[in-house]
Chain A
Amino acid sequence: NAGVTQTPKFQVLKTGQSMTLQCAQDMNHNSMYWYRQDPGMGLRLIYYSASEGTTDKGEVPNGYNVSRLNKREFSLRLESAAPSQTSVYFCASRGETYNSPLHFGNGTRLTVT
């Protein structure tokens, strides 16, 4: 049982380049999330998806797009990377009840030069 799997683990981009972060979960969860983690700022929600086919903006959505490809997969795309997007990105999923825990992937460390 892999849980939440993210790829890649590390990535270096130049300003203006694009890339897609992949995320898949095998726990049959409807809800999936993308967070970014920056020093001193905690975990901030970028986008989330309540179910297949739906996505909503979180706290810091600017510069990102997402796709909920199916129930298992939720990808995050940076169309034109900026140095301000240098961060650690975590995908997470959650069960159906409000007190279900978030299950995080191992994270993607992204550097934009």
Chain B
Amino acid sequence: GENVEQHPSTLSVQEGDSAVIKCTYSDSASNYFPWYKQELGKRPQLIIDIRSNVGEKKDQRIAVTLNKTAKHFSLHITETQPEDSAVYFCAASMSGTASKLTFGTGTRLQVTL
């Protein structure tokens, strides 16, 4: 089955700096790559996603890039703010009925003042 690796496990940046989280996946058939943000004590929530026919997608301060050849994708957060502090999960999925999302192990992002 699919295996998703995520790095780093923890990341500390100063407010206003950029943060980058990287993931690799194993199954070349995967074609959907969402990112979830989980604040302390809360449920994971989707923040951005990308499909395999797109190389990059942006939503305000958040962007995701995908390299299908290398089988890796990254989350970029610019101009970080304290409210960006959370755990971020990448995931990968294939097409098909009830396609399963396989998650990375998470990155704890701390934005310091």
Contact = CB atoms under 8 A, between A and B. Distances in A.
Nearest to B30: A98
Given A42-B106, A59-B1, A101-B49, A31 B98 contact: yes
Contacts, number: 62
Given A30-B98, A50-B97, A99-B51, A106 B104 contact: no
B interface majority secondary structure: loop
Interface string B80-113: 0000000001000111111111111110000000
A45 B102 contact: yes
A33 B100 CA distance: 9
Given A41-B105, A42-B89, A99-B49, A107 B31 contact: no
Interface string A26-47: 0000110101000011111100
A56 B96 CA distance: 14
Size range of the chain A interface in the assembly: 20 to 34
Nearest to A91: B43
A47 B51 CA distance: 25
Interface residues of B, number: 29
B29 to A, nearest CB: 11
A104 to B, nearest CB: 4
A42 B98 contact: no
A105 B43 contact: yes
B100 to A, nearest CB: 6
27 contacts: A31-B97, A31-B98, A33-B101, A40-B105, A41-B105, A42-B6, A42-B89, A42-B103, A43-B44, A45-B100, A45-B101, A51-B98, A56-B98, A58-B100, A59-B1, A90-B43, A98-B32, A98-B94, A98-B95, A98-B96, A99-B32, A101-B34, A102-B101, A104-B43, A105-B43, A106-B43, A107-B43
Across the A-B interface, give the 3 residue pairs with the lowest CB-CB distance, nearest first: A50-B98, A104-B43, A42-B105
Interface of A: 30-31, 33, 35, 40-45, 48-51, 56, 58-59, 90, 94, 98-99, 101-102, 104-107
